[in-house]
Structure 1
Amino acid sequence: MSGARSLLSLLDSLLKPAPLNKQQVALNVPRAAADLLDLLAQLLGALQLVGWGALGAYLLVRAGIRLRSVGLSWRGRDVLGGAGLAALIGIPGLALYYTGWKLGFNLAVVPSTLGDTWWRPIALTCSAFGNAFAEEMLVIGYLLTRLRQLAVRENRSLLAAAVLRGSYHLYQGFGGFVGNLVMGLVFGRVWQRTNRLWPLVLAHTLLDVVSFVGYSLLKGHLSWLP
């Protein structure tokens, strides 16, 4: 459903007279006029995302699958793995997005339009973790496990999960789809070979924290930022 809605959003953007790179889409937006209510709404949104991921974990446990087997047991080296994956994906991903935006294949993605409040970094970090846990738990930990149980070939499972990940980012434009497709292929293959999920969650969280918090701090100081 998220992929279908995202496709409709992209089609709507394509039908507008302005080219894609002259349109904007914001990721983290104010949810209430009152400052305290906005903070609570942001935190509830992040909690809901964690809840979606927890639902996937619960369904696996209910089926008799230990969370340890999908990589949710903690190991210290997961931190290094997550940082390495973040660097591997983040630097080329930023270059791909910027190139696609300049060429007109992408909308201008605005990571945050939240006001300059004391709680903005906290809310954006919570949102980053919520996004990461929900996506990696459902698209990698849950979906790939189920496809493996159904004896679907690893490469086909990997491609299906990556296309799904890319599909619900279509609202960002074609670059958003391609970038997340590639990220899905890399993350999915790492999980298939290691059965470690925490490095993916940590890498995804780092990518979003840098994007969300970094943008909010640098906006107005770098002329090339949308």
Structure 2
Amino acid sequence: MPLPRSLLTDAASAAPVPHTALPRRSLVTETWLVLGLSLGASALWSILSLVNKLTQQVALNQQTTTMNNSVTPERPWLDLAYQLLPIGLGVVPALIAVHLLRRDDPAAAREIGIDRSRPAADLLQGGALTLVIGIPGLLLYLGARAAGLNTTIAAANLTGQWWTIPVLILAAAQNAILEEVVMIGYLLTRWRQAGWATPLAIGVSALIRGGYHLYQGFGGFVGNALMGVLFGLFFVRTTRVLPLVIAHTLVDIAAFVGYTLLRSRVGWL
């Protein structure tokens, strides 16, 4: 997953960090608490999931990891409720993160770039990032699976209802909002405010991102960690989270909806 040359610059070129009066220890403690209630906890569960897979009698690449599963397929309206509830609750940690940033800086949403001040540029950059991470990410997944380092990912397993595609799109958007607001906008802001060097902040964020994808296998870890580095570099140069949300949403839509439409026609899925 190559990084654009313009992003591979010294940390001194990073945009300035918003000021805060909170002490360093409080800032770091706050970030670990937010992670403990959201993606940090997911990373721990993901590690256990990988250990479980590795200790099975079946090779890792012969196992399947299912995502976006139906809960009550025989009762589609209840199943719809089961799908929508975690989507709604899934964005709450992102809202908490923004709330905490705004506690000492009312302009925090604008300063981390989740406002609507430049929609055309955000869409253009989001689309470009989609291409940068999408195709290499797919090739990395296929290579890791062929090498026995990743499970087969069944990205969408909902029953064929009228709401299937809209729910998958909402799920993609929820993933993107949660991950990019918390892992990039919030963590990189707080850790840099706490005095962490920019490369350290990006690296730790990227490792955690890879960690909560370990349930997929080692390919999922590597691919998402590299994505975290790229997105972190982009953010510290631009202070814009919205292009990252757009790119992440588009990649997940392609995975979820594409799998739903093509799984019966494409053998390597």
2:236 is aligned with 1:192: yes
Amino acid at match of 2:251: L
Counterpart for residue 180 of structure 1: 224
Aligned to 2:164: 120
How does 1:5-20 map onto structure 2 within 5 Å?
5-20=45-60
2:110 — aligned with what? 68
**Residue type matched to 1:35 in 2?**
P
Matched residue, 2:72: 32
Q: Distance in 2 between matches of 1:146 and 1:53?
A: 14
Query: Matches of 1:52 and 1:142 in 2, distance apart?
Result: 11
Cα deviation, residue 4, structure 1? 1.4
The CA deviation at 1:64 is: 2.0
Partner in structure 1 of residue 138 of structure 2? 94
Q: 1:40 deviation in Å? A: 1.7
Instruction: Provide TM-score, normalisation by structure 1.
Output: 0.97
Residue 212 of structure 2: aligned partner: 168
Give the secondary-structure state (helix, strand or coil) at the position aligned to 1:73.
coil
Partner residue in 1 for 2:6: none
Q: Could you say what secondary structure the match of 1:152 adopts?
A: coil
**Structure 1 residue 52 corresponds to structure 2 residue 96:** no
- List alignment gaps of at least 5 residues for structure 2: 1-40
Please list, as runs of the form range in 1=range in 2, the aligned pairs for 1:96-175 lying within 5 A after superposition.
96-175=140-219
The 3-state SS of whatever aligns with 2:67 is strand
Partner residue in 2 for 1:84? 128
CA drift of 1:218 comes to: 0.3
Q: Distance in 2 between matches of 1:180 and 1:23?
A: 20
**Counterpart of 1:17 in structure 2: which amino acid?**
Q
Name which one, 1 or 2, has greater alpha-carbon Rg.
Answer: 2
Identity of paired residues, percent? Answer: 42
Paired residue total: 225
TM-score if structure 2 supplies the norm length?
Answer: 0.82
Residue of structure 1 equivalent to 2:256? 212
Offset from partner CA, 1:13-61 (integer Å, 9 cap, x none): 0000100111011110012241011112211211111222111111111
Q: Cα deviations across residues 155-206 of structure 1 (Å, max 9, x unaligned)?
A: 0111010001000000100000000000000001000100000000000000
> Matches of 1:145 and 1:27 in 2, distance apart?
31
Letter in 2 for 1:70: I
> How far apart, in 1, do the equivalents of 2:220 and 2:57 lie?
21
Look up the SS of the partner of 1:77 in the other structure.
helix
